[in-house]
Amino acid sequence: MVEKEEIINKLLNGELKLYEIDKFTENTREAVDIRREFLEEKYKIQLTNIANYSLDMEEALKRNIENPIGTIQIPVGLAGPLKINGLNTQGEFYVPLATSEGALVASVNRGCSAITEAGGANVRVVDDKMTRGPVIKAKSLTDALKIKDWIRDHFKELKKAAEVTTRHGKLLKIDPVVVVGRYLYPRFVFKTGDSMGMNMVTIATENALNLLTYKTGAHVVALSGNLCVDKKPSSLNLIEGRGKTLVAEVIVPQKIVENKLKTTTDAIVEVNTSKNLIGSAISGSIGFNSQYANMIGAIFLATGQDEAHIVEGSLGITTAENIEGDLYFSVTLPDVPLATIGGGTRLETARECLEIMDVYGSGKVGKFAEIVAGTVLAGELSLVGALSAGHLARAHKELGRG
Amino acid sequence: MVEKEEIINKLLNGELKLYEIDKFTENTREAVDIRREFLEEKYKIQLTNIANYSLDMEEALKRNIENPIGTIQIPVGLAGPLKINGLNTQGEFYVPLATSEGALVASVNRGCSAITEAGGANVRVVDDKMTRGPVIKAKSLTDALKIKDWIRDHFKELKKAAEVTTRHGKLLKIDPVVVVGRYLYPRFVFKTGDSMGMNMVTIATENALNLLTYKTGAHVVALSGNLCVDKKPSSLNLIEGRGKTLVAEVIVPQKIVENKLKTTTDAIVEVNTSKNLIGSAISGSIGFNSQYANMIGAIFLATGQDEAHIVEGSLGITTAENIEGDLYFSVTLPDVPLATIGGGTRLETARECLEIMDVYGSGKVGKFAEIVAGTVLAGELSLVGALSAGHLARAHKELGRG
Amino acid sequence: MVEKEEIINKLLNGELKLYEIDKFTENTREAVDIRREFLEEKYKIQLTNIANYSLDMEEALKRNIENPIGTIQIPVGLAGPLKINGLNTQGEFYVPLATSEGALVASVNRGCSAITEAGGANVRVVDDKMTRGPVIKAKSLTDALKIKDWIRDHFKELKKAAEVTTRHGKLLKIDPVVVVGRYLYPRFVFKTGDSMGMNMVTIATENALNLLTYKTGAHVVALSGNLCVDKKPSSLNLIEGRGKTLVAEVIVPQKIVENKLKTTTDAIVEVNTSKNLIGSAISGSIGFNSQYANMIGAIFLATGQDEAHIVEGSLGITTAENIEGDLYFSVTLPDVPLATIGGGTRLETARECLEIMDVYGSGKVGKFAEIVAGTVLAGELSLVGALSAGHLARAHKELGRG
Amino acid sequence: MVEKEEIINKLLNGELKLYEIDKFTENTREAVDIRREFLEEKYKIQLTNIANYSLDMEEALKRNIENPIGTIQIPVGLAGPLKINGLNTQGEFYVPLATSEGALVASVNRGCSAITEAGGANVRVVDDKMTRGPVIKAKSLTDALKIKDWIRDHFKELKKAAEVTTRHGKLLKIDPVVVVGRYLYPRFVFKTGDSMGMNMVTIATENALNLLTYKTGAHVVALSGNLCVDKKPSSLNLIEGRGKTLVAEVIVPQKIVENKLKTTTDAIVEVNTSKNLIGSAISGSIGFNSQYANMIGAIFLATGQDEAHIVEGSLGITTAENIEGDLYFSVTLPDVPLATIGGGTRLETARECLEIMDVYGSGKVGKFAEIVAGTVLAGELSLVGALSAGHLARAHKELGRG
């Protein structure tokens, strides 16, 4: 046991890296324990649940599941440290990733290392909102436009009706209001604070619609008319954003590109242009990136986010530029629904994973969003880097042979 | 304990429904145990892992995770029985769904009940393939077209080179081969059997590309040029399919629409047209449905599928028609990557969830795919039904008031 | 010549229809002359140019062409009368269509006839704007967000800088301002009056950008960053609109559906759903209609609109519903750039075609837009009707055989 | 008159450029005449119709128009010479462009000059086909799949039935056959020779469908189910192509980039990436270019192509690369329907415009396609070059001020 303490101490003071401890441990179980205890010590938290079968089914039954028969278990690995330069947080973080895809954690880890060495990821939450877009049917086009005008002219009353149902939700705007024949699709846009907010905005929108119906005779066909757009990929959300709109960037010095990523800036730029931009364009894809879904998926599962939101969360565009040899690299994710309270975040293991990053509970979602953006940047840089290392290697080989 | 046996017996002979047992049990834990034991008895399987902290980290470390610190736990609920009329299977099934979104299991359950009462879901695996689409750079347009012709003329050799790397994978075609300037994007299309197949087709494609490079001087910029399209939403996959292409349909008699779904066929058709078709169209969405992502997500997590594939898996189109008062309802999912072996399916809890449906291991993926399609149909019918019940209720109320 | 006068008189008092005059004339030339003279008499206009080679090349050289060698000629046919119930106009109109596609004018004509008999097309200009979306590059993400904030906080100054360059243009908003990495795409949205406005908004946007650059150090990479979106099909314009956003609807009584369109309401609804909605969805198309491009194309050429705007102008969605046997039918065109002054409208033949509808010059673009919407409705109803007549006929035949 | 001959002679032997003749002529009319006579002399053709009101309405009435009242006139300007290095043609061409958008001809002209000086445009017709995609309804999903199998198994019979209706059309494949619920969307793909082919493939497809209906009981809902995709923008056509699939490329030496385009290769690459790739991506656009629609529109009008096909014809992707300082620039147009016989090409002025390029009549469509591709390359290079010249100028100015 002395030895274990020693390893943890070395981890704490940076003499040892996370992936190196397997060399000093007898078996996987011990290594797993050490990593966890290191986190517990470093952050003064308790990680009992991810080490035990511990889900409180009584609680889960109230809010999360019906007809329960047990729980699934998915392994959680740790990537990091990842340096984040945000508005809500600055510092280095370990990021828990739940996945069964081998090599993903290692790949993200490599990206974290390059980014941290380069000075960290600059990240920003560019926008923050949750939406509900019902479909309304009017008696005629003329009537539909009257309802549209009524919505514009009575925003304050609709806002009041919506907000009376919630403590934290604020109705920001109803925009756009799309007219198709005599159908009307108004998009209700809310600020929802630290919870993901779908339930909140659904209830609030319903109350506003009751007022609208009462005043104008508008008929609500469905509370969701797919202009939300919830859990479906869409250009609307790509353009307008939904959930958190995130951007992360890093400038990787030429040396790090060469030594750590084993490639060149030009090779990365070409892979990004030919694959993420042109390749996606020619496929009719709205995911102009290489693997956002992997990082978004793994961090969503680890932290109790809604798995169906991976669909939206993985939209976005990667850019790469050569700045006098150095690499400018960025990820833009317009549509990432996130929560640090409510929903699945209250599940015991999710809470612990959030605590590893100190982002469980109220007032933490901005910080969490910044870490998510940085993590996606790390994974994306790592994969595009690896692909372009192959690109470069093949180019050299072909040159030699030519 | 006598009582417990009695409940299980009543479940087995159909006297009791799954959601009714809470009335006879003292607490949630007991109800959970009873449901699990019922499944164990009914299907002669062991469900020890979903009831215990049991992940074998030693094994996971080999294939699924790095830097592990433990596992997350997500509750699993049971929907069903769901009657499936497929080519690979016929019969009634209980479907395990892992989710933290309250009411989802109950919603799917309601759909299962309506479908089963209506005679079951007709399901088919319309197509089955896995793809890899590299990006190649030629010296010029002329050169690119020469390489394109070479690919067409030497398909057999490329097929041989690809298939030498795999026991189960078969290269079906290389199509389309898209040319953009001097870039070339050939799409390698494989049959992969019971495994999801991404790794298999990546390795096989790489070997074929080695031959191509050697023979033509083609330069491979990246093994994936985003024409795959892997883990990104795309029109290409919507049109051409990827993974399993699934269709499920049901004809719900007017009586069941009215009594069980509390709505009318016309109300369902209008919700489907105005929301799933027009609403998605006007949002620039390629998900012409209401909630495929929820069912795909919950079944993917329960059974160890790759969570990032939820992005593709949830693409698709719902149709609804009025056939002399009865409801024709269908879901089409062109792009569902699935496995019953390999990857995350070997995780202990995933295996048990697959076993509940008797779809773990070789030769089972067709059956599994059919159950997945039926489950999506159930969830979709339930939600569209619920939305249109509201539609109908509001219409009646407005009429009364008018 | 007495005879000619007689025919024209019969046309004027409605005893004769346009397509019937060929029976009473000796040759095509005479029929063409009579139609033209009928219009001249009815509307008190001169149609000398469409009957003669008359383009004033001196004038064209100033604004419309370089290196001229002559003119092309495309035949113009007349559809109508079409009854329009709009906000800007009510009444019956003849619509000039320039096309070389045989049967198009006849098809639109049939639609006009059905609509007019049904009481006319209800049309509205739902929105009206012209946009320019430059791409700006900032030094970093942080800098990009500062510029974004500056734009939000100094809208009034930017508006002033923009509007100083134009008499008629008004800057309505700069929205959205999309951030991708360190690039910024602000969309400048203007009201442009009766001219199409692309030149106006380009100059105005440039002036506003000069201010922005001067104040913030923002670097404008290109005056158009493709967020305009000008002359390219886009989901952004489908959702947000550009040019005139038009909707037209008609309720066609069951009798007219049966007698004039030779089909049933249900057959039309099914063709619309399976072709225009589902068929377009599965093709990754953003044109959820059957032939808007034909009508938009023919009316654009006849009236001197920019032919490249046919790309945007033909986006849109057709809906069809069964209302107790009658047909509700609508077209929605979110993105139709139109002008009644400037650009190609000053070409002699374009002006005459505009005059046929009394929409040449200032203050007429709203009326013109309404006629355009009604014309698209007519052509769309005619084609969907014809397709569904075939649908119905085949169904009957199969039934008889079955 | 001596003078006129002299100018024409200087044009013929290259001493004078087209845009320079205005200096030596008294008025526009004379300059227009000289340009036309130069073409007549150079190519031994007659250009009487573009100089006169001459449309034979008798002929037009048979195939192109109904209810004619005259013709519109649009000025035609000349761009070139443009050097084309194709498979079907090599040499220099003058391209007639019909437009009312001032500066377009001049802009294309500038591009022609840069390309020709750089050695010409390398162009290829990558693919060539015309399609029709009906929608079929089956009794059930099972039935739909039987019909799908029947189509696959009886391709030869369907081909025979289709081809019996046409002399030139060949049915290449029926692919994809998309299934949505119980609807079936087979895409009939034809080779159509020198005519655009829409009518041909419609008739041929109808005959094949008659056989299909007779043999399988399939019910054809509509001859076009929007999987064609005709005259609507679509990802399907972007990926699979329709009409002529065209690529054109040029390598512009650094000197020409700097001296003629007044910019740098890097500036052009950045404008292309930030505007045509990223800007279009973030707009949900499937036109990843800057102005294909302008050139396609102007050449379509001049040569009697169907104006509604401008919608499809302007889809495509522009690429730009820096090759050691020189500029690699390409345009890819997957979906350009073209004809040199039939339809509007028989209109007198269209025929003359085709004759200017020696592409009127049978056996000429491949050559025509190559010139079209080169013209689009010229216009695109010119505009992207101009935008990036501004980009560069601003950068220098800002640097000076900074």
Per-residue tokens: C99: 């096309």
Average pLDDT of chain D, as a whole number: 94
Give the neighbours of chain B: at least 3 Cβ pairs within 8 Å. A, C, D
* Chain D interface includes C13 (CB < 8 A): no
Q: How many helices (H) and strands (E) does chain D have?
A: 15, 11
Subunits with 3+ Cβ pairs within 8 Å of C are: A, B, D
Do residues B296 and B312 lie in contact, with contact meaning Cβ atoms separated by under 8 Å? Answer: no
* Range in A112-116, A398-402, B9-13, D97-101 with the lowest mean pLDDT: A398-402
For chain B, report the end-to-end CA distance as a whole number of angstroms.
59
Which among D74, D47, D89 has a CA at the least distance from the CA of D299? D74
Q: Is C328 helix (H, G, I), strand (E, B) or coil?
A: strand
Q: What is the pLDDT of residue A1?
A: 46
For C214-236, what is each residue's pLDDT tens digit? 999 999 999 999 999 999 999 99
pLDDT bin (cut points 50, 70, 90) of residue D402 is very low
Cα A255 to chain centroid distance, Å, stands at 30
Rounded CA-CA distance D149/A399 in Å is 49
CA distance C253 to C263: 12
Residue predicted with more confidence, D215 or D1? D215
Please give the helix or strand (H or E) that residue B285 lies within, else none: none
Give the single-character DSSP code of D56: -
C153 three-state secondary structure: helix
Give the whole-angstrom CA distance, residue D323 versus residue D265: 9
Instruction: Kindly give, in sequence order, each residue whose CB lies less than 8 Å from that of residue B159, ignoring residues fewer than 6 positions away.
Output: B171, B208
How far does the CA of residue B4 sit from the closest CA of chain A (Å)? 15
Q: What is the pLDDT of residue A402?
A: 43
Q: Which among D28, D45, D232 is the top mutation candidate for probing chain C, defined by the most C β-carbons within 10 Å of its own β-carbon?
A: D232
Please name the member of B141, B245, B248 whose beta carbon is closest to the beta carbon of D247.
Answer: B141
* The pLDDT of residue D40 is above 50: yes
Contacting residues of B for D182, CB less than 8 Å apart: 249, 328, 330
| Per-residue pLDDT, B399 | 64
Q: What is the pLDDT of residues A67-112, one digit of tens each?
A: 999 999 999 999 999 999 999 999 999 999 999 999 999 999 999 9
Q: Which residues of B touch A235 (CB under 8 A)?
A: 283-285
Chain A residues whose CB is inside 8 A of the C330 CB are 141, 180-182
Contacts of C145 in chain A (CB under 8 A): 124, 126
Interface of A with B in 138-177 (CB under 8 A): none
What is the CA A239 to chain-centroid distance, rounded? 17
Write the DSSP assignment of B147-193 as a string of letters: HHHHHHHTHHHHHHHHHTT-SS-EEEEEEEEEEETTEEEEEEEEE-T
Structure tokens at B393: 């209720």
Q: Which residues pair with D186 in a beta bridge?
A: D177
Checking C252-258 for CB contacts under 8 A at 24+ apart, the result is C252/C114, C252/C115, C252/C118, C252/C326, C252/C327, C252/C329, C252/C381, C253/C118, C253/C326, C254/C325, C254/C326, C254/C327, C256/C114, C256/C117, C256/C118, C257/C326, C257/C327, C257/C385
Flag if D70 and C106 touch (Cβ within 8 Å). no
Residue B401: pLDDT above 60?
A: no
Q: Are D256 and D117 in contact (CB under 8 A)?
A: yes
Single-letter code of the amino acid located at D186: P
Minimum Cα–Cα distance from C238: chain B residue: B282
| Backbone angles phi and psi of A303, in degrees to 5 | -110, 10
Q: What is the rounded radius of gyration, in angstroms, for the C-alpha atoms of chain A?
A: 24
Q: Judge whether C133 and C177 are in contact, CB under 8 Å.
A: no
Eight-state DSSP code of residue C309: G
D81 upstream amide cis, omega within 30 of 0? yes
Residue type, C377: L
What would the two tokens of residue A144 be? 């539909």
Are the CB atoms for B111 and B118 separated by under 8 Å? no
* pLDDT given for residue C1 in this prediction: 46
Residue A285 CA: distances (Å) to CA of A235, B297, B311, B338, C155: 10, 21, 12, 21, 34
CA-based nearest residue to A73, from A349, A383, A385, A381 = A349
Percentage above 70 pLDDT, chain A: 99
**To the nearest 5 percent, what fractions of chain B are helix, strand and coil?**
50, 25, 25
Identify whether the C-beta of residue C105 lies closer than 8 Å to the C-beta of residue C77: yes
Q: Which residue type does B308 have?
A: A
A110 close to B86: Cβ distance less than 8 angstroms: no
Do β-strands D183-191 and D287-288 pair in parallel, antiparallel, or remain unpaired?
A: unpaired
CA–CA separation, C159 and C208 (whole Å): 7
Residue of B nearest to A233 (CA): B285
- Would you state the pLDDT for residue D50? 85
CB-based contacts of C169: which residues, under 8 Å, 6+ apart?
C162, C163, C190, C191, C192, C193, C197, C200, C201, C204
Question: What does the mean pLDDT of chain B come to?
Answer: 94
Q: Is the pLDDT of residue D401 over 60?
A: no
> Which residues pair with residue D77 across a beta bridge?
C68, D97
Active site (annotated) includes residue B396: yes
* Those residues with Cβ within 8 angstroms of residue A177's Cβ, 6 or more apart along the chain or in another chain: A148, A151, A152, A184, A185, A186, A187
What letter represents residue A304's amino acid? G
Q: For chain A, what is the mean pLDDT?
A: 94
pTM to 2 decimals? Answer: 0.96
Write the CA distances from B339 to B187, B336, C173, D108, D311, integer angstroms.
21, 10, 50, 54, 42
As a whole number, mean pLDDT of residues D358-381 equals 97
Question: Is residue D48 over pLDDT 90?
Answer: no
Mean pLDDT within B261-280: 97
Q: With CB atoms and an 8 Å threshold, state whether D282 touches A319.
A: no
Residues in chain C, pLDDT under 50? 1, 402
B95 upstream amide cis, omega within 30 of 0: no
Rounded distance between C-alpha atoms, residue C272 and residue C390, angstroms: 14
Instruction: Check residue C112 and give its pLDDT.
Output: 98
pLDDT (mean) for B13-20? 86
ipTM over 0.90: yes
How far is Cα A151 from Cα B393, in angstroms, rounded to an integer?
23
Nearest to A286 among D278, D284, D317 (CB): D284
Quick one: pLDDT at residue C402?
A: 44
Q: What is the identity of the amino acid at B32? A: V
User: Which among A11-25, B38-52, B111-125 has the top mean pLDDT?
Assistant: B111-125
C314: Cβ contacts below 8 Å, ≥ 6 apart: C287, C289, C292, C293, C296, C297, C333, D231, D232, D308, D311
Is A394 at the interface with chain B, CB within 8 A?
yes
**Interchain contact A278–D (C-beta under 8 A):** yes
Say how far apart CA B183 and CA B219 lie, in whole Å: 10
Res. A374 pLDDT band, cuts 50 70 90: very high
Is B8's pLDDT higher than 70? yes
Q: Can the peptide bond before residue B81 be classed as cis, meaning omega within 30 degrees of 0? A: yes
Interface of B with C in 178-217 (CB under 8 A): none
Q: From CA A156, how far away is CA A164, in angstroms rounded?
A: 12
Contact D370, D350 (CB under 8 A): no
Q: What average pLDDT does the segment D310-323 reach?
A: 98
pLDDT band (50, 70, 90) for residue D1 = very low
Structure tokens at D313: 């014809």
Partners of residue C245 in chain A, C-beta under 8 Å: 179
CB contact under 8 A, B284 and C238: yes
Three-state SS at B118: coil
Residue B47, both tokens: 């469900």
Closest to D230 in 3D by CA, of D199, D264, D270: D199
What's the pLDDT tens digit per position in B44-76? Answer: 999 988 888 778 888 888 889 999 999 999 999
Q: Any CB–CB contact under 8 A between C283 and chain B?
A: yes
Mutate which: C90, C178, C232, C289, vs A, most A CBs within 10 A? C178
Nearest 5°: the CA angle B36, B40, B46 is 100
